[in-house]
Amino acid sequence: MPEPTQSLPPGSLEPQRALEHIRPSGIQETQGFGWNKEPESGSRVEFELEEVAERAVSTRKHVFAHFIVGNTYPYTVADWVADIKLAASQDIDGFVLNVGGDSWQKQRSADCFAAAKKLSTTTKFSLFFSFDMTSIPGSAATDVQFLRDYITPNYNSGVMFRQPATNHIVVSTFGGEYSTFGQGSMESGWAYLKSELNKITPIFLIPAFFISPSRLPSIAAIDGAFNWDGGWPIKLSASSPRNEIVNAALDSDTDYIRALTHGARSYMAAVSPWFFTHYGPNTYNKNWMYRGDDWLFVRRWQQLIAMRDHVDMVQIISWNDYGESHYIGPIEGAQPNSHAWVDGYPHIAWLYLNRYFMKAFQTGTYPAITKDQIFLWARPHPRDASSPDPVPRPTNYQLTDDVAWMVVFATAAATVDAYTTNTNKVSFAVKAGMSKLSFPLLADGGMKAVMVRNGAVVAECNPTTYRFESRPGVYNFNTLVAMSS
């Protein structure tokens, strides 16, 4: 039976209205497809230069990065200290520690808590757990003990994140819709789990169940929900119409917000820069991608900023999930056999790009742009290139385009010149503010961007190791991300 049509509560925003509620002082969006000329008529150009007098309610919001503890086998406390310092330096509020069924992950988590406590006098940084219920057993009542063993030693550490309104520690999951904890149903199972953990300390349960949002109101135990898939256009396929592929809709938030509003529950949204995984059937048998084009990371942030009154927390997916290519932290630790498409493809520049938009979500106001800066990313080979790779092209590889994506921050009007060779150039006139730009890649070429003002170079991004390889050794739909100094 179809669900009845419901309206969002007064003051809500549909996702497509990103930028209408909060916006920086300048935005330009341009795609260039010609050389040595200004963008032609028909290019996508959007200017939003007026100041907005009314902004969203400036309640402080929290943003966390999803951290795969399963990739930290060789980590020491010093490694955790370094990661926490780096994340905190970019104003991320904390890590969501994804823990699975491996027993050694308990000690690595303990090391993370030790590192956070060590830094707590100078660095405010919080932690909470996301239990990977695809790996952790949850069929018997005794399986509660696994989760209890993580909560008990850490709940009173002083660094566990507590939901501000209730002061309860936050607990999340990846999956869990099949977990019953011996109670006969998912709903009663999680009620039992919560009652058991509440004996230790009150918890604020905000899981990522992979179910229809329409079921959420019937799950009494939850205090909210995390929309794990909300940051990617997961409904697209190779047969989708082109007009649905470009600037693909990210429109699942509304269903969650409607469902959670009935119980005044919290909504945690996802933001992610990319998704590509390339495991053959002899390993994890995961080989697909989502379209990360059209400045996905930036567009998703703009959308969440526009609807921040209805989003309580955001989780960045991810800090270190190398297997799915959406890491924004450094490449370190123990990769899950993903070296073929990760090594040599740093994403750390996304961490620095993230801060501008994240701060706008956290505070309700975009930071001032005080430095000319260029961010640039692209895939390593043409979409249709052939490779001797025994693992075939990923499912839905046809969704991506052979384009370099660029975001620039300009303190004043300037020209941005983008190169794929020394002679192939496309130029963009940008105004003060943030601009989203793009240009086509050239087989066996590179990528470089220069910002010029009054005849002087004020920013340059030149990833010299990058080459758009026409004959790749493996199918790699990851991306190299670079930034100006």
Choose the final residue of a domain: 306, 333, 363: 363
DSSP 215: G
Q: How far apart are CA 168 and CA 180, in angstroms?
A: 23
- 314 shares a domain with 166: yes
- 424 shares a domain with 394: yes
- 155 shares a domain with 181: yes
- 201 shares a domain with 169: yes
- 278 shares a domain with 333: yes
Q: How far apart are CA 349 and CA 358, in angstroms?
A: 14
Q: How far apart are CA 351 and CA 355, in angstroms?
A: 7
- Under a CB-based contact definition with an 8 Å cutoff, are residues 27 and 369 in contact? no
Residue 57 falls inside a structural domain: no
- 254 shares a domain with 386: no
Distances (CA, A) of 180 to 143, 172, 218, 227, 359: 10, 16, 15, 21, 39
Residue 318 falls inside a structural domain: yes
Helix (H, G, I), strand (E, B) or coil at 169: strand
- 402 shares a domain with 265: no
pLDDT recorded at residue 29: 67
Residue 239 falls inside a structural domain: yes
Helix (H, G, I), strand (E, B) or coil at 288: strand
Hunting for tokens 């290019």 — which residue is that?
43
Residue 7 falls inside a structural domain: no
pLDDT tens digits for range 432-483: 999 999 999 999 999 999 999 999 999 999 999 999 999 999 999 999 999 9
pLDDT recorded at residue 240: 97
CATH code, 259? 3.20.20.80
- 379 shares a domain with 359: no
Nearest alpha carbon to residue 359 among 13, 49, 62, 25: 62
Residue 1 falls inside a structural domain: no
- 193 shares a domain with 284: yes
- 375 shares a domain with 350: no
Residue 473 falls inside a structural domain: yes
Choose the final residue of a domain: 336, 363, 390: 363
- 296 shares a domain with 162: yes
Distances (CA, A) of 155 to 70, 150, 152, 206: 21, 9, 6, 16
pLDDT tens digits for range 136-189: 999 999 999 999 999 999 999 999 999 999 999 999 999 999 999 999 999 999
Residue 290 falls inside a structural domain: yes
pLDDT recorded at residue 281: 96
Chain centroid offset of residue 406 CA: 17
pLDDT recorded at residue 30: 63
- Under a CB-based contact definition with an 8 Å cutoff, are residues 271 and 15 in contact? no
Tell me the Cα Rg of the chain.
23
Choose the final residue of a domain: 340, 363, 386: 363
Mean pLDDT of each 10-residue bin along the chain, 485 residues long: 31 31 50 37 28 46 99 99 99 99 98 98 98 98 98 98 97 99 98 99 99 97 98 98 96 96 90 99 97 99 97 98 99 98 99 99 97 99 98 98 99 99 97 98 98 99 98 99 98
Residue 352 falls inside a structural domain: yes
In terms of Cβ atoms closer than 10 Å to its own Cβ (0-12, 13-18, 19+), residue 99 is buried
pLDDT recorded at residue 262: 74
Q: How far apart are CA 166 and CA 265, in angstroms?
A: 12
Runs of H (alpha helix) within 35-76 = none
The two tokens of residue 460 are 């340059």
Range of the structural domain that residue 39 is part of:
22-49+371-483
How many distinct structural domains can be found in the chain?
A: 2
pLDDT recorded at residue 31: 56
The two tokens of residue 208 are 């990522």
- 313 shares a domain with 268: yes
- Under a CB-based contact definition with an 8 Å cutoff, are residues 166 and 202 in contact? yes
pLDDT recorded at residue 477: 99
pLDDT recorded at residue 13: 31
- Under a CB-based contact definition with an 8 Å cutoff, are residues 262 and 27 in contact? no
* Burial profile 262-284: b = 16 or more Cβ within 10 angstroms, e = fewer: eeebbbbbbbbbbbbbbbeeeee
